[in-house]
Chain A
Amino acid sequence: MPDVTMQVWRGDAGGGALEEYQVHAEEGEVVLDVIHRLQAGQANDLAVRWNCKAGKCGSCSAEINGKPRLMCMTRMNIFEPGEAVTVAPVRTFPIVRDLVTDVSYNFEMAKRVPAFAPKPREPDGTYRMSQEDVERLQEFHKCIECFMCQDVCHVIRDHEDNKANYAGPRMFIRYAELEMHPLDTVDRRPLLRGQAGLSYCNITKCCTEVCPESIHITDNAIIPLKERVVDSYYDPVAWLGRKIRRRGRRKATG
Chain B
Amino acid sequence: MAEYETHDLDVVVIGAGGAGLRAAIEASAQGARTGLVCKSLLGKAHTVMAEGGIAASLGNVYPDDNWKVHFRDTMRGGKFLNNWRMAQIHAQESPERVLELEEWGALFDRTPDGRILQRDFGGHRFARLAHVGDRTGLEMIRTLQHHSVHQGIEVFMECTITRLLITDGHVAGALGYWRESGRFVIFRCKAAILATGGVGKAYKVTTNSWEGTGDGHALALWAGADLIDMEFLQFHPTGMVWPPSVRGLLVTESVRGDGGALRNSEGRRFMFDYIPELYRAETADTEEEADRWYTDRTSARRTPDLLPRDEVARAINTEVKAGRGSPHGGVFLDIASRRDPDYIKRRLPSMYHQFKELADVDITAEPMEIGPTCHYFMGGVRVEADTAASTVPGLYAAGETAGGMHGANRLGGNSLSDLLVFGRRAGLAAAQHALGRPRAAEIDAAQVEAATTHALAPFGREEGENPYAIQQDLQDCMQRLVGIIRREDELKEAQQELAALKERAKRVKVEGHRQYNPGWHLALDLDALLTLSECLTMGALQRTESRGGHTRDDYPKADDELGKVNMVIRRREDELSIEAEPLSQMPDDLKALLEDPH
Interface residue ranges, A against B (CB under 8 Å) = 12, 26-30, 33, 39-41, 44-59, 73, 75, 96-98, 100, 102-103, 107, 110-111, 113, 115-116, 118, 121, 125-131, 134, 137-138, 141-145, 174, 178, 181, 184
Does the CB pair A53–B48 fall under 8 Å?
no
Contact B40 A49 (CB under 8 A): yes
A39-B519 in contact given A110-B146, A129-B114, A131-B109 (Cβ < 8 Å)? yes
| Cβ-defined contact, B49 with A57, below 8 A | yes
Contact A44 B243 (CB under 8 A): no
Question: Per-position contact with A for B454-472: 1 when CB-CB < 8 Å, else 0?
Answer: 0000000000001111001
Q: Is the CB of B114 within 8 A of A130?
A: yes
Q: Determine if A28 and B244 form an interchain contact, defined as CB atoms under 8 angstroms apart.
A: yes
Candidates B113, B135, B146, B510; contact of A116 at CB < 8 Å = B146
B49 lies within 8 A of A56 (CB): yes
CB distance from A168 to the nearest CB of B (A): 16
Q: Beyond the given A26-B245, A29-B245, A174-B146, please list 18 additional residue pairs across the A-B interface where CB-CB is below 8 A.
A: A28-B245, A29-B243, A30-B245, A45-B510, A47-B515, A47-B518, A50-B209, A54-B354, A55-B354, A58-B44, A75-B357, A96-B515, A98-B516, A100-B180, A110-B149, A125-B99, A127-B102, A141-B139
Given A28-B359, A73-B358, A138-B132, A44 and B110 contact (CB-CB distance below 8 Å): no
Out of A26, A45, A118, which one reaches B511, CB within 8 Å? A45
List chain B residues, Cβ under 8 A from A41: 468
A-facing residues in B138-161 (Cβ within 8 Å): 138-139, 142, 146-147, 149-150, 157
Asked whether A59 and B467 contact (CB < 8 A) given A33-B245, A46-B518, A131-B110, the answer is no
CB distance from A173 to the nearest CB of B (A): 11
Interface residues of B (CB under 8 A from A): 40-46, 48-49, 99, 102-105, 107-110, 112-117, 132-133, 135, 138-139, 142, 146-147, 149-150, 157, 180, 209-211, 242-246, 249-250, 350, 353-354, 357-359, 466-469, 472, 510-513, 515-520
A49 to B40: give the CA distance in the assembly, Å: 8
| Nearest 6 Cβ contacts at the A-B interface | A28-B243, A45-B512, A128-B114, A44-B519, A40-B468, A116-B105
Chain A residues near B513: list those with CB within 8 A: 45
B515 to chain A, nearest CB (A): 6
Residue of B nearest to A77 (CB): B360
Question: B147 contacts A115, CB within 8 Å?
Answer: yes
Say how far B415's CB is from chain A's closest CB, in angstroms: 16
A29 to B244, alpha carbons, bound, how many Å? Answer: 8
By a CB distance below 8 angstroms, the chain B residues around A121 are: 99, 103
Main secondary structure of the interface of A (DSSP, over half): loop
Inter-chain contact A39/B515, CB cutoff 8 Å? no
Cβ contact within 8 Å between A59 and B516 = no
Instruction: Select from chain B the residue with minimum beta-carbon distance to A143.
Output: B142
The distance in angstroms between the C-alpha atoms of A197 and B5, with both chains bound, is 36
Contacts of A142 in B (CB 8 A): 135, 138
**B243/A134 in contact, CB under 8 A:** no
Query: What are 28 pairs between A and B in contact, CB < 8 Å?
Result: A27-B243, A28-B242, A28-B358, A28-B359, A29-B244, A40-B466, A45-B510, A45-B518, A45-B519, A47-B516, A49-B41, A51-B45, A55-B353, A59-B41, A75-B357, A97-B515, A107-B157, A115-B149, A115-B150, A127-B103, A128-B114, A128-B115, A131-B112, A143-B142, A144-B48, A145-B43, A174-B146, A178-B105
* Cα A46 to Cα B102 with chains together (Å): 41
Chain B residue, CB-CB nearest to A132: B110
Contacts A28-B246, A96-B180; A44 near B511 (Cβ below 8 A)? yes
